[in-house]
Amino acid sequence: MPAAALSLLVVEDERALANLWQAELSHLAQATLAHSVAEGRDRLKGRSFDVMLLDLHLPDGSGLDLLRDVEERGDETATIILTGNADLNSAIQAVRLGAYDYLIKPCKIAELEQHLQRIAKEQRLRNENVALKQQVSRTRGTTVTMVGDAPLLQEVRRLVGRVGPSNASVLITGETGTGKEVVSRLVHANSARRDEAFVPVNCAALPRDLAESELFGHRKGAFTGADRDHRGLVQAAAGGTLFLDEVGDLPLEIQAKFLRLLESKEGRRVGDTECYQADVRVIAATNRDLRKDVASGKFREDLFYRLATFELKLPALREILSDLPAIAQHVLDTIHVEGSPARAFSSVSLDAMGRYPWPGNVRELRNIVERAKILCDQAEIGPEHLNLPVIVGVAFPTGRASAGTPAAAGASGETTRPLTLQQMESHMIEDALRAQGGNKTAAAKALGISLRTLYNKLDARANG
């Protein structure tokens, strides 16, 4: 996190000295001034600070009283005590109460700068650790490798190379499972922020009543159960990239806060009355047509245009079938199954995969390949291991044809009119639900799509 993101409260009764520090430290922090214990408490109402420079001797009491207030609130404020030689015992007492460190007055600007830089570095590491713990289950096994040489993929790579070095917001669109997070990581890796945090957020998975707190943070006591201050994912991504997957599922009230974040680089925690600075690059992704959502009032028009400063559309797997063998082999190589001898695909398997429409795209491919690797007890994966779903109108050599399947129909001399992708998708959903006994969660997993996406498709069919 850049040091400029620090918020600083200076509590010093010598006004000229406080003004000097405010000016000299402006390249490291945004300073707010207070000249007494009472003013300090007033500044702390409704917000907290990253750092507090606190003089022990104030006109209306001891700085230790203000330190105790901050510690009792549970703020993550790093307090630097300012004291004279005669008050070293008080300074040591302050450190025992929770102060970060103390400096002997008159202190040099360089000393203050060193302390702020160290605090900023520690805060950045702490935020990255929080982000890692919160996201590890979703980020394990991800990669920034994009396999394939089809013209559509070459164009995606070219655009990533152009937009990566900028700070522009990016909107990545495409069907479910096309690799939107992989591309977002490529954008991040091509930026000057590559060494800072990359924080992915699945907007569809955020609990509606806790979404604001998870994203922007909250103060202790802001709501029932908020027993300590919480830095949200926006602050965890400070200096780096925040990836909003399924951004179309953000509640409208949260969309307004993200608009402010994009326009002024400001966020506000639940329970705070003042904003914090957040140097964050936002990359969003969706499998929905946000323009239709804008027209229907489900998505803010101003936020859409802010996010879509640069739009990247990813191709569906069926549009880059020339790269399917290479992509499938890459997926096979990255999946570890203990004891599996499978190292490649037979030519018959590749032919079957090349004729399948892949409505779940690379995510569905990964699920099918993983299952095949588990089942396969030989060097090459055969069609019998793939278990490709049966699609009415198309026969796949999986050895599963029976009466009523396309292979059986073809054998009897019947002809079948080619189906549209929407019709094939509908049949796949029906097959999956039937195979899973109506269990939608299991059906979604078998199809390689999220449960929310399955519900959206079922709703679309019901309303269509």
The mean pLDDT value for 161-190 works out to: 94
C-alpha 318/C-alpha 144 separation (Å) is: 21
CA-nearest of 417, 431, 425 to 461 is 425
Residue with tokens 């164009």: 155
Residues in CB range of 374: below 8 A, 6 or more apart: 337, 340
**CA separation for the pair 72, 253 (Å, rounded):** 32
Top-confidence residue, 326 or 414: 326
CA atoms of 247 and 315, how far apart (whole Å): 19
Cα atoms in the 13 Å half-sphere on the side-chain side of 300? 16
Mean pLDDT lowest among 138-142, 189-193, 291-295: 138-142
CA separation for the pair 308, 298 (Å, rounded): 16
Question: Mean pLDDT, to the nearest integer, of 289-314?
Answer: 95
Look at strands 51-55 and 6-11 and give their pairing.
Answer: parallel
Domains of the chain: 3-122 (3.40.50.2300), 141-313 (3.40.50.300)
- CA Rg value for the chain: 28
The predicted pLDDT at position 408 comes to: 35
Q: What is the pLDDT of residue 140?
A: 38
pLDDT tens-place string over residues 37-72 = 999 999 988 788 889 999 988 999 888 889 888 888
What pLDDT was estimated at residue 94?
81
CB 216 within 8 A of CB 258: no
- Count CB neighbours of 409 within 10 A: 17
**Predicted confidence (pLDDT) at residue 161 exceeds the cutoff of 80:** yes
Q: Summarize pLDDT for 194-247 with one digit per residue, the tens.
A: 888 899 999 988 888 788 999 999 888 788 777 778 888 998 898 999 999 999
Give mean pLDDT, residues 63-89.
82
| Structure token digits, residue 43 | 């500044």
Q: Answer whether 82's CB lies under 8 Å from 102's CB.
A: yes
What share of the chain in percent tops pLDDT 90? Answer: 46
Q: Which of 226, 218, 220, 300 is nearest to 263 (CA)?
A: 300
Q: Which value, to the nearest 10 degrees, does the dihedral of the CA atoms of residues 164, 170, 174, 180 take? A: 50
Residue of 190, 314, 199, 292 lying closest to 248 (CA atoms)? 292
Indicate the pLDDT class of residue 153, thresholds 50, 70 and 90: very high
Q: Is the Cβ–Cβ distance between 30 and 115 less than 8 Å?
A: no
| More confident: 419 or 151 | 151
156 CB contacts (<8 Å, ≥6 apart)? 146, 183, 312, 314, 315
User: What percent of the chain is modeled with pLDDT above 70?
Assistant: 85
Residue 257 contacts residue 212 (beta carbons within 8 Å)? yes
Q: How many Å from the N-terminal Cα to the C-terminal Cα in the chain?
A: 48
